[in-house]
Amino acid sequence: MASTALGTDADALVKSADPKHPANLICSLCRQFYGHGWVTGTGGGVSIRHDKHIFLAPSGVEKELMQPDNIFVMDYASREYIRRPLVGHCSTGSQWAVLVTLLCEAGMQGGKDVFEISQIEQIKGISRGGTGSTEIAEGGRKLGNLGYFDTMRIPIIENTAHEEDLKDSLEKAMVEWPETCAVLVRRHGVYVWGKDVTQAKTQAESLDYLFQLAVEMHKLGLKWT
């Protein structure tokens, strides 16, 4: 795959036999997420920060067929791309995430600009501030995670015509909601992060479960909080 880059060794950044190398791991995760129905068509994506670089899946390619050559690489400090394959850009999506943003927008559950749910066991898998803690409290609960009686709140921002234009509103939401590990984008999907790839993946799975559950609860006339 041809690429444009600021450095002559940019293609070497996505070449490795290690299955846990970010370029290989992104491809593996996208294949798994395709099986969940999260990255159908050419939508959806994953990004991983590794040392001084951020590795990003592209849009515009079939995620179940994606190869390391398709990966973008960004310099973490400057936020400039140092490797650009000749394909689209990074994005993410979930039909359940889209539906809860529409229910909130219509005023059918909670506020227009935040998804809230409480007293559901799965929220105990969601960390505060995206990173949580590995320290275990009495009873086995991770100290940095939400508890059963907490209310999980995920901010909702408006979509834009081009994904790169979400940058300012995403950053604003992350500042205004420091305990969140995700941001919903109305009529688009959800961005999820964690302290490492494993936590980001498990939180994405937990959130998708909660979004689907919320839609089914709404069908039955049940409140989320």
Residues annotated as catalytic are: 121
User: Contact, 73 vs 13, CB < 8 A?
Assistant: yes
- Tokens 């515009």 sit on residue: 60
**How far apart are alpha carbons 94 and 190 in whole angstroms?**
7
Determine the residue type at 55.
F
CA dihedral (163, 164, 165, 170) positive or negative: positive
Alpha-carbon distances of 179 from 50, 129, 139, 193, 212, rounded to whole Å: 23, 4, 23, 12, 22
Phi-psi region of 149 (alpha: psi -120 to 50; beta: other; left: phi over 0): alpha
Q: What are phi and psi of 157, to 5 degrees?
A: -115, 165
Is residue 92 classed exposed, middle or buried when 0-12, 13-18 and 19+ CB atoms within 10 A define those classes?
buried
**How far apart are alpha carbons 77 and 11 in whole angstroms?**
19
